[in-house]
């Protein structure tokens, strides 16, 4: 089954991350089949100063 890589800005609480990975796992199993135990999710937390969109750092917002 899949390994899902997610990039997020820093600052989410552990509770938010738990709810997110549960929802993504459920959606993956419902859509692709398999078991929840076969779904891996990696969360990469990124500082706003390390992410830019349209030539502008998100930390400059």
pLDDT tier for residue 53 given thresholds of 50, 70 and 90: very high
Confidence of residue 61 (pLDDT cuts 50, 70, 90): confident
What does the pLDDT read at residue 1?
79
Domains and CATH numbers, the chain: 3-60 (3.30.429.10)
Q: What is residue 37's predicted lDDT score, i.e. its pLDDT?
A: 98
- Its pTM stands at 0.88
Q: How far is CA 26 from CA 1, 7, 15, 38, 46, in A?
A: 13, 19, 17, 11, 25
Is position 36 annotated as part of the catalytic site? no
From the candidates 2, 16, 40, 52, which is the catalytic residue?
A: 2
Mean of pLDDT values over 10-37 = 97
Say whether 26 sits in a helix, a strand or coil.
Answer: helix
Q: Is 11 left (phi over 0), alpha (psi -120 to 50) or beta?
A: left
């Amino acid at each position: 089954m899949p390994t899902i890589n997610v990039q997020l800005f820093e600052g989410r609480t552990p509770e938010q991350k738990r709810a997110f990975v549960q929802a993504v796992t459920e959606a993956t199993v419902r859509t692709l089949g398999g078991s929840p135990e076969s779904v891996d999710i990696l969360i990469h937390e990124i500082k706003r100063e390390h992410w830019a969109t349209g030539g502008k750092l998100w930390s400059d917002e």
